[in-house]
Structures are given as structure tokens and as C-alpha cells.
A and B are shown apart, each in its own frame.
Chain A
Amino acid sequence: EVQLVESGGGLVRPGGSLRLSCETSGMTFITYEMSWVRQAPGKGLEWVSYINIGGSAIYYADSVKGRFTISRDNAKNSLYLQMNSLRAEDTAVYYCARRYCSTAGCLFDYWGQGTLVTVSS
């Protein structure tokens, strides 16, 4: 069974930092691209960042570019998101999502349960 388990969320003051982790199991992690997607309270889904299999291709939403860093450790089957200079508008549930790719294209097929990040003084 594929499992994605996020951790590392919590309450942080504006300007602070947090590092989220996503531990995966039941899948061959090294063969999947991965992303972070967030959801502010009562709002819709917002894609945050993407990393390819080897970590050589990385993309960010404009809203987090320069502040967030995505990374992965294929030996530990884990995905990370280092979040610096946090703002109130970064308050959200952060989901780790597996990106499945075929000849037809790619999509998010599995999601974690999410970890809540609250930025407040």
C-alpha cells in the first residue's frame, strides 16, 4: 500500500522557518516525481513546488520562490520542503503528492494526509 506521511508542521512566527518532511512507503520512491501542494484554511488547492526524480529539475510557485526549497533523499524515500521567511499567508495544510507519469502525461495519484503550518505572532 502506497503511503505518504508528512510531518514537521506547527506554529511559527512570521519570518521564521520550518522544514517539512514526507516519508513514503509502498512505492519505489526513486521512480517518481514529487510535489508539495498546500491549502489555506477554507480555501482551494495551490501547487507549491515540484522536483524530478534525480533532483535536477525543480520548480516553484511565484508565491514561494526564493523562500522555499524542495529536496529529496532517494536513499531515505523522503521528500522535504525547507520554508524560510514565513508569512501569515503561508498558513495552510501542506500535502505531499506523488506525480505519476505515463506516455499520456503526468498527474498526482497519491496524496499524504497533510501537515498544518500556522504562521502567526
Chain B
Amino acid sequence: DIVLTQSPDFQSVTPKEKVTVTCRASQYIGSKLHWYQQKPGQSPKLLIKFASQSASGVPSRFSGSGSGTDFTLTINNLEPEDAATYYCHQSGSFPLTFGGGTKVEIK
């Protein structure tokens, strides 16, 4: 199974700061890594697909990078509405897996 290790688990940041979340895969997955945002009481929402492609309607402050085993989600100029938990997900092979999540809190 491909294990996705996210870090940090939690980050408390002030508005307009930059947030960086990393996701490391236990095996090579190319670019089959996607990022989701989940706010409390809501279902996950696709942010970044195939490591670096923004999903439709996603603000430009969200970006993704990486390939192979190491990936990064960056949120520039953090907005209060970005408070959420962020998950990486690999779709390269079954069983499909998710990272443990990174909770971003706004100070």
C-alpha cells in the first residue's frame, strides 16, 4: 500500500501569511497526487489535481508542486475562509489512500 505522510499535522497562521503543507508518498506515484480542502461539516472539495493543476474555480493563491514522492501545497496570502483541513490523496494504485490531514487554523 502507498502511505502518504503529511506534515505538519496542524498549523496556526495569521491572515496574509503563507502556508506550506507537504505530502510524501512511500512509493513513486508520478503526478497522481491531488489535494482536497475540507471545512467542518462539509464534504471534501478538490483544490489541486495531478500535483500542480488548479481545479475549476479555485483561487489563485492555492498552488501545488512536486512529482514522484514529494509534493507541496502552498497557500499564499492566507484568507480567513481558508481555515480547513487539507488532505493529499494518491490515485495511482489501489488501495487508494489519503494523507492524515493538515489542519490550518487562522489566528
Contacts and interface: CB of A to CB of B under 8 A. Distances in A.
A108 B98 CA distance: 12
Contact of B92 (A62, A105, A109): A105
A27 interface: no
Count class of interface residues, chain A: 20 to 34
Contacts, number: 57
20 contacts: A45-B38, A45-B87, A45-B98, A46-B98, A47-B95, A47-B96, A50-B94, A50-B96, A59-B94, A62-B95, A104-B31, A105-B31, A105-B32, A105-B50, A107-B91, A108-B34, A108-B44, A108-B91, A113-B42, A114-B43
B69 interface: no
Interface of A: 35, 44-47, 50, 59, 61-62, 95, 99, 104-109, 111-114
B97 interface: yes
